[in-house]
Amino acid sequence: MKPTLAKPTFTLITGASAGIGKAMAERSAALGQNLLLVALPDNGELSSIANSLAAKYGIEAYCFPIDLAHSEAPEQIWAWIQHQGFGVNVLINNAGVGAIGAFENASVAFYQQLIQLNIMALVKLTHLLLPELKSHPKAHILNVSSLAAFFNMPYKIIYAASKHFVYAFSRALRVELSNTSVSVTVLCPGAVITNPVILERVRQVSPWAENLAWYPEAVADLAIRQMLRGKAVVIPGLLNRLTIWLSWCLPTGLRLQILSYLFGRKHSTAPTILPISTHIPIANDKLTESTSPTFNH
């Protein structure tokens, strides 16, 4: 009697066509993990990434282009996984979007789309895939939050609040799943630089902000390594961790004034868009496709 071949397992990564998500795909492939890549429809770019990684590392890689800002997208992804019979033992919720500007200057529709992408898509995908993840001897969930999760941020109000949700959700879910095979990790990076334009934006925040910034490849390498070790929280950079600690030493009112000055002095009128992963909220308060690089999480 021939032995039954083990079913291949896959890492599902959202926001996988650029920035941290693309770097995580590369790092996961280098470790021999098969890939399921999800990102916005992009005229074949996502498929090209999947094919390139499959050829380079000898893995299986498939893609599913879809806009996670649509409420039904997580169910469509799950239906695709079930139809294809993919076994998923790693879920990386990386897709997200951000904006900077006065709260009253963006529409409710815009905020609904931001919340849908940053919160609801992550929650629904996690809920849909959890039984599948628990069916494996060892599985991981990696949720991408932000350094902003630790701050109340004027002019980045909804974005920072959404990332605090991701942080709080991940920490609590980790406890609920502590007696299962699933480990939950939350990544909280600061600024992530992908090109000179983004670097200039970082420098506009303050002269020292560049020292806190990382590049996506370094963030991805650290995040994947710490996830596989089962770490609860990953904050890249000693200076970023020190910034959080120092901020807690300041009175709340003073901390808010400093943040308001840093982020509000040039963005107190119309919102400025900060691309996260492969989504950007842009003109007319709508999420539209973009190939712009990651600014920060």
pLDDT in tens, 19-68: 999 999 999 999 999 999 999 998 789 999 999 999 999 999 999 999 99
Q: Between 199 and 223, where is the model more confident?
A: 223
Q: Is the distance from CB of 280 to CB of 273 less than 8 angstroms?
A: yes
Predicted local confidence at residue 243, as pLDDT:
72
Reported in sequence order, the residue ranges of 25-130 that DSSP labels E, i.e. its strands, are: 34-39, 61-65, 87-93, 98-100
Say if residues 202 and 232 touch (Cβ distance below 8 Å).
no
**In 3D, which of 163, 110, 129 has the Cα closest to residue 38?**
129
Residue 192 pLDDT: 83
pLDDT at residue 103, rounded to an integer: 87
User: Phi and psi at residue 265, in whole multiples of 5°?
Assistant: -65, -30
Specify the CATH superfamily of domain 9-289. NAD(P)-binding Rossmann-like Domain (3.40.50.720)
Residues 121 and 266: their CA atoms lie apart, in Å, by 31
Per the prediction, the chain carries an average pLDDT of 82
Task: Determine how β-strand 272-274 pairs with β-strand 98-100.
Answer: antiparallel
> Mind telling me the catalytic residues?
159
What's residue 152's pLDDT? 81
* Predicted confidence band of residue 99 (pLDDT cuts 50, 70, 90): confident
Angle between helix 45-57 and 19-30 (nearest 10):
20
- The CB density around residue 236, as the number of other CB atoms within 10 Å, is 24
CB burial string 30-45: b at 16+ within 10 A, e below: eeebbbbbbbbebeeb
Instruction: For residue 10, give the 3-state DSSP assignment.
Output: strand
What pLDDT score was predicted for residue 292? 30
Question: Is the model's pLDDT at 297 over the cut of 90?
Answer: no
Please tell me the predicted confidence (pLDDT) of residue 214.
75
Q: How far is CA 129 from CA 12, 15, 73, 80, 250, in A?
A: 10, 17, 13, 12, 41
> Rounded mean pLDDT of 70-91?
97
